[in-house]
Structure 1
Amino acid sequence: MKIIDLTHNISETMPVYPGTEGPKLEVANTYEKHGFKETLLTMFSHTGTHMDAPAHLFAHRPTLDTFPAEQFVGKALVIDCSDLQEGERITMKYIEGIKEKANQAEFILFYTGWDSRWGTNAYFGGYPYITEEVAEYLINSRKKGVGLDVIGIDPISDENLTIHRKLFAETDIVIIENLTGLGEIGNELFTFCALPIKYDNSDGAPIRAIAILQE
């Protein structure tokens, strides 16, 4: 068995969505004064590698804490879209070529290679994002979740969050953003785990995402 970590570290210097305050990691207790170390974490619920719940946009839709744990684990497939250039979109052609595997997967993860820009201004540029046709496929095939190695499933310019709204309006799919390391997995089905912090009325939460590969 091989485990691949798909999660960015949370730090005070990490990229955050424009307009969002970055996280704070304050040492609250020290070895010298208290005999142990403890850190006070202050951050928004959609910080770093994180998961969006349908309740992120719709008040009447489910929050992450109401989902059973099995929602966050399942069979996944990475789809390689790393040939896309800035401003280009992830279309159905990337799914059509591997439709049989894609249909078997519970999670579809799109590898764009954009995680290599993490920590630079280029990370906020014209990253690839999925079309509404791809969103329709995810809805109709009843996926548990969709993930990308970019900062959003919609372009930053789309203040209406069109793709988010389309996915969340009627389905209980989750959206995972800011993944990393998807290029290490290959093109076979594998077990994906993306476990969010469990807190009341969770509209979204940081996750520890991993891939489990059978060797």
Structure 2
Amino acid sequence: MAETQTRNGLRYYNLSHRWGHMMPEWPSSPGVNVTVNKFHAKDGVFMTEFEGILHRGTHMDAPLHVTENTPTLTGYDVSRFFGTGVAVSIPKKKWEVITAEDLENATPKIQPGDIVMINTGMHKKLADSDEYYAYSPGIYADGAEWLVEKGVKMVGYDVQANDHPMATKLVDHGLGPTHPHLIDEYKEYTGRDVKEDFPHWEAAHKILMVKGGIPGIENVGGELDLVTGKRCTFMAFPWRWPDGEGSGVRVMAVIDPDQKFTIPTGA
């Protein structure tokens, strides 16, 4: 069902997946569980509570998530969460990498200061499945370095994480391998070893957030296809959580079909 809304000539698009009980989640624990504590027929009000981690659904990480003694969510300048940018189509299949060359050749052209949303096509496959989480494409070090050097403001992807799945603990990185069968599967599928292609644990996370101070949004989706190939205004705000290492975000895109609307300078 389309969620696009038009108001005062501007079109507003939702770029987030639904969040809540039984949503697809990255293969780690704990999951998000929602309990109904009060309901109208019994209590006259409706109230729920949830338990779980905030690295679920469409969400943003902070540098502290991947590197000690680095900023939390409130370490990002709030100006990074709102601005002009592009949604670009970079179609990718199983285990393919979003490269610096892909980003350089993307249209509309990515410019310094842009917010960038990357559409690989994977958001259409969101499910509690290996296809979406274990066999996903993703970005790695060279693509992340390109985004930092370009000076983008914020970046979002319609894939499972800020890194390629073969750079995560699913294989022999960090706390892994949690999915050791993927190591042999990757070798059979590509003819190469995982550690040869992805020697560093979550390199893109660290390059983007720690080196570049760039917020990265995982699991972008919703109406992403409707804004792909266009220059838009984007916004995505995490919680004001001084100790936070991650937070769900509602990602929005706004387009003026006539390309006439501008935000007043306030001068």
| Paired residue secondary structure (2:251) | strand
> Which segment is superposed worse, 149-158 or 205-214?
149-158
Give the equivalent residue in structure 1 for 2:163: 154
8 Å CA contact 1:14–1:22 kept in 2: the answer is no
Q: Distance in 1 between matches of 2:124 and 2:108?
A: 29
Give the equivalent residue in structure 2 for 1:6: 15
| Paired residue secondary structure (1:196) | coil
Letter in 1 for 2:236: A
Letter in 2 for 1:142: G
* 2:229 corresponds to which of 184, 187, 194: 187
| Paired residue secondary structure (2:83) | strand
Segments of 5+ residues of structure 1 without an aligned counterpart are: none
| Paired residue secondary structure (2:207) | helix
Offset of 1:88 from its aligned partner?
Answer: 1.2
Is residue 207 from structure 1 mapped to residue 249 from structure 2 by the alignment? yes
After superposition, residues 163-174 of structure 1 pair within 5 angstroms as: 163-174=204-215
8 Å CA contact 1:135–1:166 kept in 2: the answer is yes
Q: Distance in 2 between matches of 1:157 and 1:89?
A: 10
| Paired residue secondary structure (1:190) | strand
Residues 22, 50 of structure 1: CA spacing in aligned structure 2 closer, same or farther, 3 A cutoff?
same
Identity %: 27
Count matched residues: 214
| Larger relative contact order, structure 1 or 2 (CA cutoff 8 Å, min sep 6) | 1
Residues 169, 35 of structure 1: CA spacing in aligned structure 2 closer, same or farther, 3 A cutoff?
same
Letter in 2 for 1:71: R
Q: Distance in 1 between matches of 2:211 and 2:68?
A: 13
Offset of 1:148 from its aligned partner?
Answer: 0.4
Deviations 1:90-127 (A, max 9, x none): 12332233478301452121101111111241212322
After the TM superposition, which segments of 4 or more aligned residues of structure 1 sit over 6 Å from their partners? none
Segments of 5+ residues of structure 2 without an aligned counterpart are: 1-9, 170-200, 258-267
Q: Distance in 2 between matches of 1:13 and 1:165?
A: 30
Letter in 1 for 2:39: T
Q: Whose Rg is larger?
A: 2
| Paired residue secondary structure (1:28) | strand
Deviations 1:150-199 (A, max 9, x none): 11122223232121122233221111000103211032211111111222
Is residue 126 from structure 1 mapped to residue 135 from structure 2 by the alignment? yes
Structure-2-length-normalised TM-score: 0.74
RMSD: 1.9
| Paired residue secondary structure (1:147) | strand
Q: Distance in 2 between matches of 1:155 and 1:72?
A: 24
Considering fraction of residues, name the structure with more strand.
1
Give the equivalent residue in structure 2 for 1:92: 100
8 Å CA contact 1:54–1:63 kept in 2: the answer is yes
